[in-house]
Amino acid sequence: KNQVEQSPQSLIILEGKNCTLQCNYTVSPFSNLRWYKQDTGRGPVSLTIMTFSENTKSNGRYTATLDADTKQSSLHITASQLSDSASYICVVIPQGTSYDKVIFGPGTSLSVIP
């Protein structure tokens, strides 16, 4: 069964610190892997999109990496800000997919405190 798992489930860090969120997936082959940020009570917003052939993609203080051999992706947040407090969702799009096979992870809830 295709799955996307994320860790940790929740994380609390001090403002200004860095953190790394993990995504493990069993989906294979896949077309692309995405990271979304979802503020409480809002819809998800895309942070990065990587195809299966890309290893890293940056968007400001967010850097996503992909290791297709180990089926792992990570999202690194540098110099965290209070506004980074949100849920971060990893999404894997299987190759040649129909949309009911798009798989969202459960998310990691990040809290950045002063």
Partner 1 sequence: DTGVSQDPRHKITKRGQNVTFRCDPISEHNRLYWYRQTLGQGPEFLTYFQNEAQLEKSRLLSDRFSAERPKGSFSTLEIQRTEQGDSAMYLCASSLLAGAHYNEQFFGPGTRLTVL
Span near partner 1 by CB under 8 A; candidates 14-22, 56-64, 74-82, 96-104: 96-104
Contact letters for partner 1, residues 47-86 (x by CB under 8 A): --x-x-----------------------------------
Token pair, residue 81, equals 């800000």
Can you name the residues that pair with 35 across neighbouring β-strands?
Answer: 48, 90
Per the listing, tokens 């850097």 go with 63
Examine residue 46 and tell whether it contacts partner 1 (CB under 8 A): yes
Examine residue 91 and tell whether it contacts partner 1 (CB under 8 A): yes
**Single residue of 2, 18, 42, 72 touching partner 1 by CB under 8 A:** 42
CA 3 to chain centre: 14
